[in-house]
Structure 1
C-alpha cells in the first residue's frame, strides 16, 4: 500500500469483521446496497496527496470529466489512511459502504476472504479492456494467487532510498549506499550535530511490516509457510527484525525519537535537513509540498547485502500500491465498472499517476515519457526486477497489526536504552505469532 498510517483496527476486531463480511447485503441510506440510481456513484478514495484537500483538487476535475462522458455523478470522499481499513471493515459488515473504493494492495487477500468485494473474473476484466493491460507484478498484489483478483491495480509504487544531497556532500560522501554495511558506515558520518542519518516510522505498524518484510526476504524468510500459517520466529525473520531495530539500538543511525513516529514525521525531518536518508514510496510530491526542490534530493534503490538488487535474497521492496475495488452488493454495477474503466484508462492513468508521483500499473501508460524521470525510473526498475508482493493470505492484515506492534515495541525499548537482543526479538515475535493463532 501507499501513504501508510497504522490501521486503527486491532487483530481481534479485524478477524471478526472479515468473518462477518461474507454476509454482505444491507440497504441502509448511503451504503452500497442502497444506491440504486444509475446516475450516481459513491467513491472512497485513499489519501494519496500531501493532504485531503490536495486529493480533492486532483480528483475533482477527473470526476467531472467522467460525469460529462457518462452522465454519472461521482460522490467523492477522501479518507485518511488512519481510518480507511476500519471504515472498510465496518462497511463490509453493515452494507453501508460506497460503490467503488480504494484499498491498500496488501489488504487485497484479507478483504477478498470476507467475500464483500466483486471478483474480477475474465468477464469483468473484459469490460475494462482486459487483464493483459496491467503489469503482472501489480496483479500479483490484487488477491490470493488461486482466485480471481479482488481488485484492480490503480497506482503502483515501490520503496526507494531518498538521500539529501547537501548533507551527503557536507559529510564527504560521494553517493548513496548500495549495501546495508555502507548505509551504516555512511550513517555514522551523517549522525552528528543533532542530525541523524536515517528516518523511520517506528510506531507505524504498516511501515514496520514493509521494512521487515523486505529484510526478511533478504534473509530467506517469508513470515508465512506455503500453506499460509504464521512463521514469525524463523532465524531469517528474527534476523530481519533485529537488523532493522538495530539501526537505532546498536548502529545509532536512527534518532530515538523516531520510535514514536507514525504520521510521516520522518519525511518532514528529511525535508528540513534534519535527516539525511529515508526509505519511502514515491515521495517526490510530498517533498515538494514541504518546500523541498527536486535538486535537493537524490534517489537510489534500497540497499541489499550484495549491492545488486534482484529477486530472492536481493529483494529490496514490497510491491506497493493502491487497488480499486467494487463492493459486490452495489446496485449500480454497470456504473461502477464504467468508473473503474475510466480511472484505469491509458489517458487517466497518465494524468493521475503524474499528479501523485506514482507508476502506472497499466502497461501502455507506463511508456509515456513523463514517467522516465530519474525517481520513477528507479521505482519502475525495482517493480520489474527486485520487488515482491507481501503474502497474499487471508491473515495479512492481522500480520500487519501483530508483527507491526512487535517491531513498535522493540523500537520503544531501543529508544529507552533497553538492550535489544536476539532473545528479546524472538520473544516479541513469538507473542505476535501466538496472537495470530488465537484469532
Structure 2
C-alpha cells in the first residue's frame, strides 16, 4: 500500500519538466555511480507487516544472489509514505539506488522523466524474455506503445477480508456481494465499540485505489481519452461521495480512521475491532498480528449488483509492484542480473508465497500455493474484473491531488461536518485546478 505526500505533486512537476534523462547513482546517496561493480544498492518497498519483517525476508535472498554472482546488494526498505518522494528526489539529484521497487501505477509518470532503464527486447532477453510475464502485468509497467519502464515483480488486486467470528456474532452467514449488503451487514456490526469497515483515510494512494474502482462502477475514469482530468464528472463525484458516506452517512467506518495512513486499519481488523477491510494482500500481516488462517475469510470486493466482471462491475485496480533500474547506474550488467534473479521462477514462488501476492511470472503461478482460496480471489479478480489506473504521465499528481481531496473529506466526516454532493464536487474541482498548475 502506498501513501504519497502532497509535496510529491510539486516534485513530479519539476521532474517532468527538468530532468529527462536523469537517474540514480551517487556516492552520497548510496547509488551506483561510484560503487564497485561488485556492489548494488536496492530500494525495496515495504511489502510485509513491517520494515524489519521485509529485511528478514529479503536478506537471505540477497545473500543467495551474492553467493551466485559475487555481487553484494545493499538493502534499504523504504516505507510507502516516503518512497515516491525519495524516487522523485533521486531523479532530480542523481542520488539514488541502482535498483528499486515502484508501485505499478507510477510507471508512466516515472517513465516520462527518462530516469528509468527502458525494458526493450534486448533487456527483456537478458532476463529470460518478455513472454515469461503475464501480459496485463507488463501492460501496467509503462505507457502504451512505449517500452516498459520496469519489470513486474509482485501482482496484486483488492479483496474484501472479513472476520468470521464477528460475522457469526452478528448473525451474518456469508460475506456481502453488493454494497447495499455491505452497508446492511455493517449496521448490524457497528455497535458496542465495534466497527464494520476499516479505511486508511489519510493514505492518499489507498484513497485513489478505492475511488478509482468505485468510479468505474459509476461509469467514471477520472481522465478522458486525451489524458485530460475529468475529476468533476457526475460519476467521479458520486464515487467519492459513496466512499466518504461509509463514514459520514452509513456510520460503518470509525471516525478515527480518517487519520489512518500506516496499516492501522489492518491492526484494528486483527484485534477484532473492525470486521472488514478492503486490501491488496494481507495474510502475512494478519499472521504477524496473531490471527490464524481460520479466523478470517476473503471474498471479492462488492459491486453494485450481481457478480464482479467487466464494465460497471469492475471491482479493483490492477495493483502490483515493479522492479526498475536507474538509467545512469554504473553497474548496468549487475543490475540486470539482479532483476533476473528476483524474477526467476524460484524467487517468484518464494517471495510471492511469503507476501501473499500473485507471481506475474507465468511458470511460477503453476505452484499449488497460488491456488489457495485467498490467492485465488486475487488471481480471479486480476483476470476478470480489474482495470489499470490511468497510464498518464501525471498519474502521480492524480494520486496526490485527488487523494488529498478524499483525505480532507474524511476529516470533515470525522468532525461531523456535512459531506454533500456540492462539497465533494468543490474538493474535486480544487484538485483538478491543481493538476493544471
TM-score band, normalised by shorter chain:
over 0.9
Cα deviation for residue 357 of structure 1 reads 1.2
Q: How does 1:170-209 map to 2 (within 5 A)?
A: 170-209=169-208
Q: Do the aligned residues in 2 keep the contact of 1:25 with 1:33 (CA within 8 Å)?
A: no
Partner Cα distance (1:184, 1:25) in 2: 47
Cα deviation for residue 61 of structure 1 reads 1.1
The aligned residue for residue 373 of structure 1 is: 372
Residues 161-198 of structure 1 show CA distances to partners (whole Å, capped at 9, x for unaligned) of 00000000011000000000100111111111111110
Partner Cα distance (2:23, 2:399) in 1: 28
The aligned residue for residue 254 of structure 2 is: 255
Give me the TM-score of the superposition, normalised by structure 1.
0.97
Q: Do the aligned residues in 1 keep the contact of 2:158 with 2:378 (CA within 8 Å)?
A: yes
Residues 290-320 of structure 1 show CA distances to partners (whole Å, capped at 9, x for unaligned) of 1111111000000001231012211111111
Partner Cα distance (1:424, 1:104) in 2: 31
Q: How does 1:412-427 map to 2 (within 5 A)?
A: 412-427=411-426
Partner Cα distance (2:9, 2:306) in 1: 36
Cα deviation for residue 77 of structure 1 reads 1.1
Q: Which SS does the other structure have where 2:321 is aligned? A: strand
15-24 or 398-407, larger mean C-alpha shift: 15-24
Partner Cα distance (2:302, 2:353) in 1: 26
Q: Which SS does the other structure have where 1:85 is aligned? A: helix
The alpha-carbon distance between structure 1 residues 370 and 318, as it changes in their structure 2 partners (threshold 3 A), is same
Question: How many residues are matched?
Answer: 436
The aligned residue for residue 383 of structure 1 is: 382
Q: Which SS does the other structure have where 2:20 is aligned? A: helix
Q: Do the aligned residues in 1 keep the contact of 2:26 with 2:34 (CA within 8 Å)?
A: no
Partner Cα distance (2:336, 2:222) in 1: 35
The aligned residue for residue 6 of structure 1 is: 4
The alpha-carbon distance between structure 1 residues 418 and 26, as it changes in their structure 2 partners (threshold 3 A), is closer
Give me the TM-score of the superposition, normalised by structure 2.
0.97
The aligned residue for residue 357 of structure 1 is: 356
Could you tell me which runs of 5 or more consecutive residues in structure 2 were left unpaired when the two chains were aligned: none
Residues 235-266 of structure 1 show CA distances to partners (whole Å, capped at 9, x for unaligned) of 11011001111111111111111111111111
Instruction: Kindly indicate whether residue 14 of structure 2 is the aligned counterpart of residue 16 of structure 1.
Output: yes
Cα deviation for residue 28 of structure 1 reads 3.6
Residues 62-121 of structure 1 show CA distances to partners (whole Å, capped at 9, x for unaligned) of 111111111111111111111111111111111111111001111111000000000011
The alpha-carbon distance between structure 1 residues 25 and 421, as it changes in their structure 2 partners (threshold 3 A), is closer
The aligned residue for residue 401 of structure 2 is: 402
Q: How does 1:25-424 map to 2 (within 5 A)?
A: 28-29=26-27, 30-32=29-31, 34-35=33-34, 37-424=36-423
Residues 380-434 of structure 1 show CA distances to partners (whole Å, capped at 9, x for unaligned) of 1001111111111011000000000111111111111111111111111011000
Could you tell me which runs of 5 or more consecutive residues in structure 1 were left unpaired when the two chains were aligned: none
Q: Which SS does the other structure have where 1:181 is aligned? A: helix
Residues 133-157 of structure 1 show CA distances to partners (whole Å, capped at 9, x for unaligned) of 1112211210101211000000111
Partner Cα distance (2:131, 2:95) in 1: 33
The alpha-carbon distance between structure 1 residues 47 and 27, as it changes in their structure 2 partners (threshold 3 A), is closer
Partner Cα distance (1:215, 1:70) in 2: 46
Q: Do the aligned residues in 1 keep the contact of 2:24 with 2:97 (CA within 8 Å)?
A: no
The alpha-carbon distance between structure 1 residues 173 and 23, as it changes in their structure 2 partners (threshold 3 A), is same
Q: Do the aligned residues in 1 keep the contact of 2:25 with 2:329 (CA within 8 Å)?
A: no
Cα deviation for residue 36 of structure 1 reads 5.3
Partner Cα distance (1:426, 1:130) in 2: 46
Q: Do the aligned residues in 1 keep the contact of 2:300 with 2:377 (CA within 8 Å)?
A: yes
Q: Do the aligned residues in 2 keep the contact of 1:32 with 1:327 (CA within 8 Å)?
A: no
Partner Cα distance (1:313, 1:136) in 2: 23
Residues 12-62 of structure 1 show CA distances to partners (whole Å, capped at 9, x for unaligned) of 222113333315168641554514532111111111111111111111111
Cα deviation for residue 330 of structure 1 reads 0.8
Q: Do the aligned residues in 2 keep the contact of 1:7 with 1:84 (CA within 8 Å)?
A: no
Partner Cα distance (1:296, 1:335) in 2: 44
The alpha-carbon distance between structure 1 residues 150 and 266, as it changes in their structure 2 partners (threshold 3 A), is same
Partner Cα distance (1:63, 1:199) in 2: 35
Partner Cα distance (1:121, 1:7) in 2: 32
Q: Do the aligned residues in 1 keep the contact of 2:156 with 2:319 (CA within 8 Å)?
A: yes
Q: Do the aligned residues in 1 keep the contact of 2:23 with 2:96 (CA within 8 Å)?
A: no
Q: Which SS does the other structure have where 2:115 is aligned? A: coil
Partner Cα distance (2:23, 2:285) in 1: 38
